[in-house]
Amino acid sequence: MADEAKAKGNVAFAAGRFEEAAQHFGDAIALAPDNHVLYSNRSAAYASLGRYSEALADAERTVALRPDWAKGYSRLGAAHLGLGDAPRAVEAYEKGLALEPSNEALKSGLAQARQQAASTPRRPGGSGADAFGKVFQGPELWSKIAADPTTRGYLNQPDFVQMLREVQRNPSSLNTYLSDQRMVQVLTLMLNIKLPHQNSGASEPAAAQSAPQTPKQQSEAKAREPEPEPEPEPMEVTEEEKERKERKATARKEKEAGNAAYKKKDFDTAIQHYTKAMELDDEDISYITNRAAVYLEMGKYDECIKDCDKAVERGRELHADFKMISRALTRKGTALAKLAKSSKDYDVAIETFQKALTEHRNPDTLKKLNDAERAKKELEQQEYYDPKIADEEREKGNEFFKQQKYPEAVKHYTEALRRNPKDPRVYSNRAACYTKLGALPEGLKDAEKCIELDPTFSKGYTRKGAIQFFMKEYDKALETYQAGLKHDPKNPELLDGVRRCVEQINKASRGELSEEELKERQSKAMQDPEIQNILTDPIMRQVLTDLQENPQAAQAHLKNPGVMQKIQKLVSAGIVQMK
């Protein structure tokens, strides 16, 4: 699933749809959170959008996961450069070049960073708007606004909530909204300061304020000064407020006791503690979601769903953190997915997980959504499964194939696979159709699936080898044919495939390829990750150097079977010619 999301991201990136690419890479990260390449790709997408702070975060994660990967430092340098931090960009590019001195992208980036560092002195810190805007990033923002009576009402005003979310996404946008008194008031609340009240009278001119006074004037002014008022006594906490705080403290202790009981799998005791906490404090929905978790573990799914609904409703009233609302919805979706195993209805669970993701997008919820969608698909396939109809559709496909009506044949083979997805013959037949239609990647995928389902089925190897041969990947086709011969040593199609592949490979070794054929083969080979790895391997680079400059040493290298196999791949690809 992660590879599929990554592939979609690559396609979107190549098409210049960077926002969509970032989304796909994010989905892939949720499924494979330790894959450094995914963070690198999303960093590039964010940088293309000008969202350099997010690009920097992903680049830093890339380097943390794979500190010996030069490309990660290229991403890091680009993000720093985008943020105007040229010295740090220089540092990042230099670290990358220490790992891979010949990397052109790193060299180019370093030159650009040094030029920018020389022309623009580094300014520590961000702008004033950025610095103030960052106070809106903390998780306590919404709870602080809701708790203050002077700002609580703003949360009922959609335009203000939209402003807050925009500042959270982009702190530098704060200046845009400071003309709104509501935003100023919330800013002072988050900074824990009070703005001085404006004097109703006009202020004196600066010259008058700063003019020196004579001793007589000072004496008269001192006589006019009123006696300082005594500091007001601190407000006494009411009994009601004291009782409220005590209840909250007791509720937290009940929650801790419930957590301890839950870890011991003493579910009945945990429920008692969480219920008591709910009775003591109805302003914290975590007590409700914790009790829902216990019901989920006990298999009491209906009770779990009721508690989750209650948590969402109460959370809306309290303007609780979106993450808490999302957690309640995710827990409800989990309970519904458990019930769907018997009810066969996954739609309501899928819908609930989707709602949870609109509140807060996190990997756990996304994985649960994917699992539910996969379970629904498998259920539909099971209900649709009918081997008898599958055989009928396969026969119809065969008839159309004989008539050279390949699109119609594909249609019937596809229906046969929907009815019975475990029949390797149908994948083999559809691969043959795709080959006739020139859809080689689709045909290769079907041939590989055929071999996966039945590794002894010779047709799978002949289909796959033929497609690789047509794609001019002769060394790979040779490997496929040889793998098939292990199961069927006398198969004439496989033997003929080996002969044809060897003939093509030998043409390259003897230098019998035309210049156009050589360029085409080299271009295709350079896109092959296996060829790229061989060419970047320090040992193989030394071997290739010895082949040109030190024949005696080269002969010693060629006695190594592993080295010889890699050399043969380069010869087949037209990269190396043996004379």
Across residues 195-212, what is the average pLDDT?
39
Q: Which two tokens stand for residue 230?
A: 């005594």
Crossing angle of helices 52-65 and 70-82, rounded to 10°: 160
DSSP string, 179-225: TSHHHHHHHHHHHT--PPPPPSSPPPPHHHHHSPPPHHHHHHHHHHS
Distance CA 336, CA 561 (A): 57
Domain extent at residue 26:
1-119
Unique residue bearing structure tokens 């040493």: 553
| pLDDT for the residue 133 | 57
Give residue 224's pLDDT band: very low, low, confident or very high (50, 70, 90).
very low
Give residue 567's pLDDT band: very low, low, confident or very high (50, 70, 90).
confident
Q: Is the dihedral of CA 12, 13, 15, 18 positive or negative?
A: positive
| pLDDT for the residue 188 | 73
Give the tens place of pLDDT for each residue, 444-473: 999 999 999 999 999 999 999 999 999 888
Q: Which amino acid appears at position 291 of this protein? A: R
Across residues 122-143, what is the average pLDDT?
56
Distance CA 316, CA 325 (A): 8
Domain CATH code at residue 80: 1.25.40.10
The verdict on residue 371 lying in a domain is no
Of 329 and 45, which is predicted with more confidence?
329
Across residues 273-294, what is the average pLDDT?
94
Of 381 and 404, which is predicted with more confidence?
404
Of 409 and 146, which is predicted with more confidence?
409
Across residues 368-393, what is the average pLDDT?
89
Does the pLDDT at position 275 exceed 90? yes
| pLDDT for the residue 150 | 83
Give residue 500's pLDDT band: very low, low, confident or very high (50, 70, 90).
very high
The verdict on residue 29 lying in a domain is yes
Does the pLDDT at position 352 exceed 90? yes
The verdict on residue 207 lying in a domain is no
CA diameter of the chain: 123
Of 186-200, 379-393, 497-511, where does mean pLDDT reach its minimum? 186-200
| pLDDT for the residue 207 | 34
| pLDDT for the residue 226 | 43
Of 52-56, 189-193, 298-302, 380-384, where does mean pLDDT reach its minimum? 189-193
Give residue 223's pLDDT band: very low, low, confident or very high (50, 70, 90).
very low
Distance CA 409, CA 463 (A): 17
Of 205 and 249, which is predicted with more confidence?
249
Nearest to 344 by CA among 381, 296, 380: 380
Does the pLDDT at position 507 exceed 80? no
DSSP string, 339-357: HHHHH---HHHHHHHHHHH
Does the pLDDT at position 210 exceed 50? no
Give residue 334's pLDDT band: very low, low, confident or very high (50, 70, 90).
very high
The verdict on residue 218 lying in a domain is no
Residue 234: left if φ>0, alpha if ψ -120 to 50, beta else—which one? Answer: beta
Question: For a pLDDT cut of 70, what percent of the chain falls above it?
Answer: 83
Helical spans, DSSP H, in 360-491: 363-384, 387-402, 406-419, 424-437, 440-453, 458-470, 474-485
Across residues 44-48, what is the average pLDDT?
85
Does the pLDDT at position 441 exceed 90? yes
Of 152-161, 211-220, 358-367, where does mean pLDDT reach its minimum? 211-220
Q: How many CB atoms lie within 10 A of CB 139?
A: 10
Distance CA 196, CA 300 (A): 56
Q: Which two tokens stand for residue 573?
A: 């690809």
Reduced to 3 states (helix: H, G, I; strand: E, B; else coil), residue 438 is coil
Q: Average pLDDT over the chain, rounded to whole? A: 83
| Number of separate domains in the chain | 1
Of 166-175, 292-301, 379-388, 475-484, where does mean pLDDT reach its minimum? 166-175
Give residue 353's pLDDT band: very low, low, confident or very high (50, 70, 90).
very high
The verdict on residue 179 lying in a domain is no
Give residue 378's pLDDT band: very low, low, confident or very high (50, 70, 90).
confident
The verdict on residue 307 lying in a domain is no
DSSP category for residue 18? H
| pLDDT for the residue 577 | 64
